[in-house]
Amino acid sequence: MNSLANYIFFLILTLFCSRKCVINLSCVAAITSMKPGDELNHSQLLESEGGKFNLGFFSIPKTNESYLGIWYAGDPRDKKLWVANRNTPILNNSGLLTIDSTGILKITSGGKTVVNIAPPLLTGSLIARLEDSGNFVLQDETRNSTLWQSFDHPTDSLLPGMKLGYNLTTKQNWTLTSWLNIYTPASGAFTLSLESVQDAFQLVMLKFGKMSKSHIGWELSLG
Ligand SMILES: *[C@@H]1O[C@H](CO)[C@@H](O)[C@H](O)[C@H]1NC(C)=O
Ligand SMILES: *[C@@H]1O[C@H](CO)[C@@H](O)[C@H](O)[C@H]1NC(C)=O
Ligand SMILES: *[C@@H]1O[C@H](CO)[C@@H](O)[C@H](O)[C@H]1NC(C)=O
Ligand SMILES: *[C@@H]1O[C@H](CO)[C@@H](O)[C@H](O)[C@H]1NC(C)=O
Ligand SMILES: *[C@@H]1O[C@H](CO)[C@@H](O)[C@H](O)[C@H]1NC(C)=O
Ligand SMILES: *[C@@H]1O[C@H](CO)[C@@H](O)[C@H](O)[C@H]1NC(C)=O
């Protein structure tokens, strides 16, 4: 009996250890922040602080084109909630996310810039991190201020904390646009945006920039 208990204990310990090793191995590439000069490649992931979201490159098997995206960690459907370069795909899996010496967050491939994700943000202590809300932010670490955030550049998904609509002061316009099809993140036919309709702002669904009859008619008040 005693030896059986010992055996089971040993078995559990072995399972626990091997699980831990597997976890450690798969976590080798995990990163939680990036500074100028750092690079993120296809086999690495940027994890949010609490591990809820991942940012990384994903490939479309049909075309081998790849994109930088954000998704819920462990989502079995693998739904991409944000895509950085939806209209400028990387043609193979050699994309790198980096912050260059001038403070530009960009994707490069084969030494060439594919797309600048954010404008140059010159600050002594620039840091990129993925918040546990799914917001990819560029921050001035010493001032603790956010200089750029993915939540201001929605793709087709609205997460808690994101805005949809229009700020009359800053003229900032947050809209959602569907994927072209289930394989292609490129901007598709449908846009959800705040439009000025008959002297009022309404949240409207547009198809190819035109109002459809089934538009959504919520009236919103603007601050
Ligand atoms: C990605 O970067 C890591 C760390 O620098 C490296 O170990 C790995 O081989 C790289 N993977 C690819 C596909 O380049
Ligand atoms: C994608 O890449 C694989 C492996 O390199 C290759 O065999 C395949 O032909 C490529 N597919 C397309 C559509 O380019
Ligand atoms: C991937 O594409 C880039 C840019 O088009 C090119 O420079 C690079 O050689 C390609 N890499 C591979 C592995 O095909
Ligand atoms: C930085 O700002 C965030 C959000 O405003 C806050 O939650 C956090 O405590 C601040 N951190 C420091 C070190 O001041
Ligand atoms: C916001 O952008 C959308 C899509 O480009 C546009 O149709 C809409 O008119 C803009 N909203 C405002 C209030 O300017
Ligand atoms: C619009 O932007 C201004 C300036 O950033 C801000 O003070 C205001 O609260 C914003 N309005 C809304 C409705 O978010």
Domains and CATH numbers, the chain: 28-154 (2.90.10.10), 163-222 (no CATH)
Would you say the CB of residue 64 lies under 6 angstroms from ligand 2? yes
What per-residue confidence (pLDDT) applies to 29? 52
Share of the chain above pLDDT 90, in %: 73
* Tokens, residue 186: 């490129």
Residue 16 has pLDDT above 60, yes or no: no
Ligand 3, atom 6, residue with closest C-alpha: 110
Ligand nearest to the CA of 183: 2
Spacing, Cα 163 to ligand 6 middle (Å):
11
Beta-bridge partners for 30: 45
pLDDT digits 0-9 by tens, 52-69: 999 999 999 999 999 999
Are the CB atoms for 105 and 128 separated by under 8 Å? yes
Spacing, Cα 144 to ligand 4 middle (Å):
6
Q: Using a cut of 0.75, tell me whether the model's pTM lies above it.
A: yes
Are the CB atoms for 178 and 189 separated by under 8 Å? yes
**Three-state DSSP state, 196:** strand
Nearest to 41 by CA among 66, 16, 23, 19: 66
What per-residue confidence (pLDDT) applies to 215? 53
Residue 91 has pLDDT above 70, yes or no: yes
